[in-house]
Structure 1
Amino acid sequence: MGSWREGVVEYIRREAQPVEKFGHQPRLYALTLEIGKGLEYDDDVVFAACWLHDLGVFVGHRPEDPVALAAWDNTAYAVEKTPGILGGMGFPEEKIAGVVQAIATHQPTGDPQTLEGVILRDADILEQLGAVGILRTVCKVGKDTRFHTFTDAARSLQKALSTLPAEVRLASTRSMMEERVRVMGEFLRAAAAEAGENLL
């Protein structure tokens, strides 16, 4: 691992709050390595984008005011801050634009125009599915403006299950996605059966 990579990892380790936010970045990068097998792409760009794309969701970076938080664009924040962070760590200057572009289009609604951006976006979609996707959503109940109850979380998971699989672009990602879709579907069916109308 080069010195700039170590710097980026340590920066995110320090800034990722609450602490569970840190796990997403290494998992995401590991997924990109699987997705990208056999493809020619710039791993420096993908690595940096994986580690910095969610900077705007961390406590200390996002607004504390609930109204401001509800309107917060965490992706725009990451796009704004990333060049300065990478520039101060010795990251190749000519690659910064590629990192910014990948971050800007990493959401499911994004339309990446580079392979690096597609790999990042596909990997981020996988992180919203399966057992990990369930954990990431449920842990936000009571701490996120979108999730006040388990019903809110279940509704979000159902939406992810219904919409995200169609957004995946690469064949390698689709094959990795199948088990995650099955796990999430079974979880939602079991939760509905066990809780009935009393999920809250």
Structure 2
Amino acid sequence: MTWREQLVAYIRQEARPVEKFSHQPRLYALARQIAAGTYADDDVLFAAIYLHDLGVFVGHRPEDPEQLARWDNTAYAMQQAPAVLQRIGFPQEKVARVVECIAHHQPHAEPESLEATILRDADILEQLGAVAVLRTVCKVGRDTRFHTFAGAIGSLNRALNTLPQQIRTDRARELAAPRIEVLRSFLKAAQQESGGEL
């Protein structure tokens, strides 16, 4: 198997709950759209995308709710990535760039490379639109951030109100526009249908 095939197989095996796996292929597809026509290193993007959320998987993160509330999943992924990449035969000279992408994939981060900027923008897109609703609602009751639908709606509202302004690339802004409208429409409908009782 190629290193890419090995990495996909590893993440497919480790991603728990199972729906955590679908994020990586979607994210890579988005990143390729954003990266089109640039000099971004596709190897670095692919590896960073598949490894950036390793620390959110059950079995990698703490089970204790108090420890989980303080857990730094990004630091964990940065720590684990070099060994995983070495094991699968990833080009050694690119490992540090993968770790840098992982370090700066969160919306509040300040990416230092083109690849990190692309990963960050793609990850923001996954937090907007219909997919964002699916990803958020499936966490209700099993995530330290929210235990009810009201908490999920609050999280989606925060995403809608803060994330679009943090997108850096023109292509990601284009891709975000319809997602923003879908999310805005969903939140409006959820409020109307529930009367705020979620």
TM-score bracket, normalised by the shorter chain, equals over 0.9
Structure 2: which amino acid aligns with 1:107?
Q
- What amino acid is aligned across from residue 42 of structure 2 in structure 1? D
Q: Counterpart in 2 of 1:174?
A: 173
After superposition, residues 121-160 of structure 1 pair within 5 angstroms as 121-160=120-159
Task: Please state if 1:71 is matched with 2:43.
Answer: no
Matches within 5 A, 1:107-118: 107-118=106-117
Which whole-Å deviations, capped at 9, do the CAs of 1:2-53 have from their partners, x for residues lacking one?
7100110000000000000000000000000111111111000000000000
* Structure 2 gap ranges (5+): none
**CA RMSD after TM alignment:** 0.7
Identity of aligned residues (%): 61
Equivalent residue number for residue 19 of structure 1: 18
- The DSSP-based 3-state class of the residue aligned with 1:62 is coil
Q: For the residues of structure 2 that align with 1:46 and 1:167, how far apart are their CA atoms?
A: 20
Aligned partners of 1:155, 1:100: CA distance in 2, in Å? 31
Aligned residues: 198
Equivalent-residue separation in structure 2 for 1:20 and 1:198 (angstroms):
27
Q: Distance in 1 between matches of 2:167 and 2:19?
A: 25
- Structure 1: gaps (5+ residues): none
Task: Tell me the TM-score normalised to structure 1 length.
Answer: 0.98
Distance of 1:197 and 1:132 partners within structure 2: 22
SS in 2 for 1:88: helix
Q: Secondary structure at the match of 1:75?
A: helix
Aligned to 2:186: 187
Match of 1:57 in 2: 56
Per-residue deviation at 1:181? 0.2
Q: Quick one: distance in 2 between partners of 1:53 and 1:181?
A: 24
Rounded to whole Å, the distance in 2 between the matches of 1:8 and 1:20 is: 17
TM-score, normalised by the number of residues in structure 2:
0.99
| CA shift for structure 1 position 197 | 3.0
How far residue 96 of structure 1 moved from its aligned partner, in angstroms, is 0.1
Take 2:157 and 2:196, find their aligned partners in 1: how far apart are those partners? 16
CA offsets 1:70-128 (integer angstroms, 9 cap, x no match): 00000000000000000111100000000000000000011101000000000000000
**Paired residue type of 1:55:** L
